[in-house]
Amino acid sequence: MHGLHLTADLHGCRCAPHWLLDADALGRACTEAVQASGLQAVAQLVHAFPSTEHGPGGVTATVLLAESHLCVHTWPEQRAVTLDVYVCNFGADHSGKAHALMNALLALFDPVAAERHALLRGAVVQERTP
């Protein structure tokens, strides 16, 4: 359970609108960013939301990683995105790869402002010898 959980709330994204609207394009970009960071994608699910009276529908993209997960949620009517990257560090420390993945997505969305958080989860439990 020992791992690193990174989150970011992006505001005023200056990216091309299709990154906030096009589920297929965003899904491919997420998978490519995962691969470039050195993490291993094992499955992906992408969902496009319909337009409402507030504007065009956003996208939820999730990539299941061998190390844990990436989740992206877009709000095109607000030019906003939330990012969630969690990696388990049980077998190896994947923290650098998690930061690389987060940085790649920040570059993709190009926000005016980003609220970033990092949470170390769990602890490495040392076996006690009697």
Buried b (16+ CB within 10 A) or exposed e, 19-40: bbbbbebbbebbbebbeebebe
Look up tokens 């923290």; give the residue: 95
Element holding 60 (H helix, E strand): strand 59-65
Q: Which residues are catalytic?
A: 68, 73, 88
Residues in the chain: 130
